[in-house]
């Protein structure tokens, strides 16, 4: 018998639409009254909050872009006074500035509820030990699933990321039953388990919830085999909330979107026109219950499609296909969002190298690797190995502190990176996902 | 009184050294001494040649990363302990040697050594005071 955490997950479509209509009109009034950015935009378009009565009116609303968050850094798009905020999260931005998001107590409660739905769909309940190996901190992964586990009264083991041996010891000693981390780390844990000679009978894992980076069905089967679990996908982005915007059920054919909180649309990224159900385009979300940061028609840059086909799990929440790509050049490396322009900014700021670089992304032993190849300046002194190594180490440290990711730095002679006539090719992604 | 050393960045792929020496040969440049520093990913070829500026231009034109570095050339007695004495003079004034390499001269009793240090002037002064002959490009 399928269990649901919230009755809304099986609500009939007309009820869901009525709820969405009510929440959208309320949100539109809220942003008009409290966020000058939206008020100005609405006024310029001659749009009044009362023009938005039904969820169908959403097409009248303007889009919100990542650039808008950057332009209003850090708190310019927040709709509540600081007294009402209880938490800040952030993700690395495109030009050094981070994307800052805020939450009220109620936002956190809803976030926990959404992640609770995901954990329930993965078979979790109060008897489970939820092992969270997502990073805790400004990244939303750790604390998001943490809130979900508490919501369903499971016992959280907040391990955070890293130290694989300790993670496996905790599996064995603490009896972890549900693992939450990035899929590549799950695979790494599974292979480490095997390499350390740990038999699956020594651990109690039964399910895993994996997200924050792209993965394939082939990877899923491998993870399931190595860890002896059923693996579930989860989707989210900090601008909208964090993990738990959408989650997978036992059918494993797409993720149910928590559309009572996040209204999804698929649009043509070039024209902005809404595409019919089933078509592939850019995923756009409107936060219809968020208090602190209720973004309107936020362009995720993720390419996906939506489907209202009946799901065998009984949930009526609309489903999205796993994103198949991006409309921008963002890379997801070990769960960290990386834009080539961020790397460029670091290189230019240091000024030790020429502005010609190439990012080589690969997956070695199931972990993503990033190599930054960059050309030396014509006048750089390089006659001793030390001089080259010092420059590489300096770039490595700057990349680690700015992007939060470890990269291998390779200095190359001038003019050795191919110049392109059109759009510069900055990335070679060798990962076969 | 320093010498010009030519440094060439060598990518680790077959034929690079042959190509570099080929360019020098075509341009009638005579090599007097060489050393290679090798790492896992690349090498650094250091050369003493008869026409450093011309060699630099030729290699640059052929697409290599080249630079000229001021190094010190000394002449040491070709006998046990000869080099050690010279290096002591440099160490005494607190100068570390970045790298060095030796080559033989036409004169059987003398060996030439190239030294790369951080402070050329100070090192030369110390060597001169110890009576170590400093050589120039024309002598090699």
State the CATH number of the domain containing residue A74.
3.40.50.12780
**A355 close contact with B: CB closer than 8 A:** no
Is B69 close to A383, i.e. CB distance below 8 A? yes
Q: Which residues contact A191 (CB under 8 A, 6 or more apart)?
A: A226, A365, A366
The token pair at B3 is 């010498």
Question: Is B123 within 8 Å of B95 (Cβ atoms)?
Answer: yes
**A372 close contact with B: CB closer than 8 A:** no
Confidence of residue B69 (pLDDT cuts 50, 70, 90): very high
Residue from B12, B15, B6, B74 nearest B46 by CA: B6
Instruction: State the Cα–Cα distance between residues B127 and A398, nearest whole angstrom.
Output: 41
Residue from A180, A187, A171 nearest A223 by CA: A187
Same domain, A230 and A320: yes
Residue from A72, A64, A234 nearest A149 by CA: A234
State the CATH number of the domain containing residue A340.
3.30.300.30
Q: Is the pLDDT of residue A87 over 60?
A: yes
Other Cβ atoms closer than 10 A to A346: 20
Same domain, A323 and A379: no
How far is B70 from chain A, CA to nearest CA, in Å? 10
Same domain, A157 and A179: yes
Question: Is A222 within 8 Å of A211 (Cβ atoms)?
Answer: no
Nearest chain B residue to A387 by CA distance is B98
Chain B positions in Cβ-Cβ contact with residue A412 (cut-off 8 Å): 11
Is A383 close to B63, i.e. CB distance below 8 A? no
Q: Which domain holds residue A286?
A: 7-328
Query: Tens digits of per-residue pLDDT, B6-63?
Result: 999 998 889 999 999 999 999 999 999 999 999 988 999 999 999 999 999 999 999 8
Question: Is A206 within 8 Å of A165 (Cβ atoms)?
Answer: no
Query: Tens digits of per-residue pLDDT, A377-432?
Result: 888 889 999 999 999 999 999 999 888 889 999 999 888 888 766 666 789 999 87
Among the partner residues B11, B46, B69, nearest to A413 by beta-carbon distance = B11
Query: Is domain B3-68 annotated with CATH 3.30.2130.10?
Result: yes
Same domain, A309 and A350: no
Query: Tens digits of per-residue pLDDT, A301-355?
Result: 999 999 999 999 999 999 999 898 888 888 988 888 888 888 888 898 888 898 7
| Inter-chain Cβ pairs, chain A and chain B, closer than 8 A | 39
Question: Of the residues A328, A351, A373, which one is the last residue of a structural domain?
Answer: A328
As for how many domains chain A has, the answer is: 2
SS3 A224: helix
Look at residue A423 in the predicted model and tell me its pLDDT: 63
Chain A positions in Cβ-Cβ contact with residue B11 (cut-off 8 Å): 412-413, 416
Is B99 close to A384, i.e. CB distance below 8 A? yes
Instruction: State the Cα–Cα distance between residues A218 and B106, nearest whole angstrom.
Output: 69
pLDDT over 90 for what percent of chain A?
A: 77
Strand partners, A412: A375
Chain B positions in Cβ-Cβ contact with residue A410 (cut-off 8 Å): 41
Residue B44 CA: distances (Å) to CA of A383, A427, B64: 6, 28, 12
DSSP string covering A101-119? EEEEHHHHHHHHHHHHHHH
Look at residue A421 in the predicted model and tell me its pLDDT: 64
Same domain, A389 and A303: no
Please state the pTM of the whole predicted model: 0.78
- Which of A135-139, A171-175, A209-213, B28-32 is most confident? A171-175
- Which of A66-70, A108-112, A356-360 is most confident? A108-112
Q: Which residues contact A149 (CB under 8 A, 6 or more apart)?
A: A115, A116, A119, A124, A128, A130, A132, A155, A156, A178
Same domain, A185 and A302: yes
Among the partner residues B7, B11, B41, nearest to A382 by beta-carbon distance = B7
Top residue of A379, A383, A392, A412 to mutate, by most chain B CBs within 10 Å, is A383
Average pLDDT, chain B: 92
Query: Tens digits of per-residue pLDDT, B71-121?
Result: 999 999 888 888 999 999 999 999 999 999 998 777 778 889 999 999 999
Average pLDDT, chain A: 93
Look at residue A365 in the predicted model and tell me its pLDDT: 81
Q: Which residues contact B62 (CB under 8 A, 6 or more apart)?
A: B19, B23
Higher-confidence residue: A333 or A27?
A27
Same domain, A375 and A343: yes
Q: Does A228 sit behind a cis peptide bond, omega within 30 degrees of 0 on the bond before it?
A: no
Q: Hey, where are the domains in chain B?
A: 3-68, 70-139
Instruction: State the Cα–Cα distance between residues A20 and A29, nearest whole angstrom.
Output: 14
Look at residue A371 in the predicted model and tell me its pLDDT: 96
**A418 close contact with B: CB closer than 8 A:** no
Nearest chain B residue to A380 by CA distance is B67
Query: Tens digits of per-residue pLDDT, A234-289?
Result: 999 999 999 999 999 999 999 999 999 999 999 999 999 999 999 999 999 999 99
Query: Tens digits of per-residue pLDDT, A176-234?
Result: 999 999 998 898 899 899 999 999 999 999 999 999 887 888 889 999 999 999 999 99
Look at residue A251 in the predicted model and tell me its pLDDT: 94
**A424 close contact with B: CB closer than 8 A:** no
Question: Is A210 within 8 Å of A180 (Cβ atoms)?
Answer: yes
Is B116 close to A384, i.e. CB distance below 8 A? yes
**Equal CATH topology for B3-68 and B70-139:** yes
Instruction: State the Cα–Cα distance between residues A117 and A124, nearest whole angstrom.
Output: 9
Is B11 close to A385, i.e. CB distance below 8 A? no
Same domain, A197 and A107: yes
| Residue A226 domain-assigned (yes or no) | yes
**CATH code assigned to B70-139:** 3.30.2130.10
The token pair at A146 is 């943490």
Query: Tens digits of per-residue pLDDT, A41-71?
Result: 999 999 999 999 999 999 999 999 999 999 9
How far is A355 from chain B, CA to nearest CA, in Å? 16
Same domain, A346 and A266: no
């Amino acid at each position: 018998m399928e269990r649901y955490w919230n009755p809304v997950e099986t609500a009939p479509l007309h009820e869901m639409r009525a709820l969405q209509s009510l929440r959208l009109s309320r949100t539109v009034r809220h942003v008009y009254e409290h966020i000058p950015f939206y008020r100005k935009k609405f006024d310029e378009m001659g749009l009044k909050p009362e023009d938005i009565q039904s969820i169908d009116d959403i097409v009248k609303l303007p889009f919100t872009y990542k650039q808008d968050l950057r332009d209003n850094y850090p708190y310019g798009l927040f709709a509540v006074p600081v007294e009402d905020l209880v938490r800040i999260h952030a993700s690395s931005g495109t030009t050094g500035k981070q994307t800052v998001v805020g939450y009220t107590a109620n936002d956190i409660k809803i976030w926990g509820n959404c992640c609770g739905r995901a954990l329930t769909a993965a078979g979790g309940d109060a008897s489970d030990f939820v092992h969270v190996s997502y990073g805790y901190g400004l990244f939303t992964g750790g604390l998001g699933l943490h809130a979900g586990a508490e919501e369903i009264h499971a016992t959280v083991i907040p391990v955070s990321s890293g130290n694989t041996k300790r993670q496996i010891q905790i599996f064995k000693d603490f009896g972890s039953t549900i693992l939450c981390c990035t899929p590549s780390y799950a695979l790494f844990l599974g292979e480490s388990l095997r390499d350390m000679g740990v038999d699956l009978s020594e651990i109690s894992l039964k399910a895993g919830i994996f997200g924050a980076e792209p993965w394939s069905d082939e990877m899923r089967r491998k993870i399931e085999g190595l860890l002896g679990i059923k693996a579930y996908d989860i989707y989210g982005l900090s601008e909208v909330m964090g993990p738990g915007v959408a989650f997978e059920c036992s059918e494993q054919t797409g993720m149910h979107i928590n559309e009572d909180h996040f209204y999804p649309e698929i649009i043509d990224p070039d024209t902005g026109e809404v595409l019919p159900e089933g078509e592939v385009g850019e995923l756009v979300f409107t936060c219809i219950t968020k208090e602190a940061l209720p973004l309107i028609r936020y362009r995720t840059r993720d390419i996906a499609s939506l489907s209202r086909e009946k799901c065998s799990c009984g949930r009526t929440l609309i489903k999205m296909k796993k994103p198949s790509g991006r409309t921008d050049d963002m890379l997801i490396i070990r769960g960290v969002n990386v834009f080539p322009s961020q790397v460029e900014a670091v290189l230019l700021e240091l000024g030790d190298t020429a502005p010609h670089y190439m990012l080589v992304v690969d997956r070695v032993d199931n972990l993503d690797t990033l190599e930054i190849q960059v050309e030396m300046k014509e006048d750089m002194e390089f006659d001793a190995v030390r001089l080259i190594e010092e420059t590489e180490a300096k770039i490595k440290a700057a990349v680690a502190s700015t992007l939060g990711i470890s990269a291998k730095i390779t200095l190359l002679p001038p003019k050795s990176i191919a110049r392109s006539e059109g759009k510069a090719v900055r990335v070679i992604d060798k990962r076969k996902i | 009184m320093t010498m010009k050393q030519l440094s060439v960045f060598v990518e680790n792929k077959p034929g690079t050294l042959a190509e570099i020496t080929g360019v020098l040969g075509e341009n009638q440049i005579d090599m007097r001494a060489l050393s290679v520093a090798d790492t896992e990913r690349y090498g650094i070829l250091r050369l003493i040649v008869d026409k450093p500026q011309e060699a630099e231009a030729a290699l640059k034109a052929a697409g290599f990363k080249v630079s000229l570095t001021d190094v010190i050339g000394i002449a040491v007695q070709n006998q046990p302990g000869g080099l050690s004495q010279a290096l002591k003079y440099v160490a005494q004034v607190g100068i570390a040697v970045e790298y060095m390499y030796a080559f033989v001269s036409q004169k059987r009793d003398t060996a030439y050594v190239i030294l790369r240090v951080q402070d050329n002037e100070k090192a030369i002064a110390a060597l001169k005071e110890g009576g170590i002959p400093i050589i120039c490009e024309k002598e090699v």
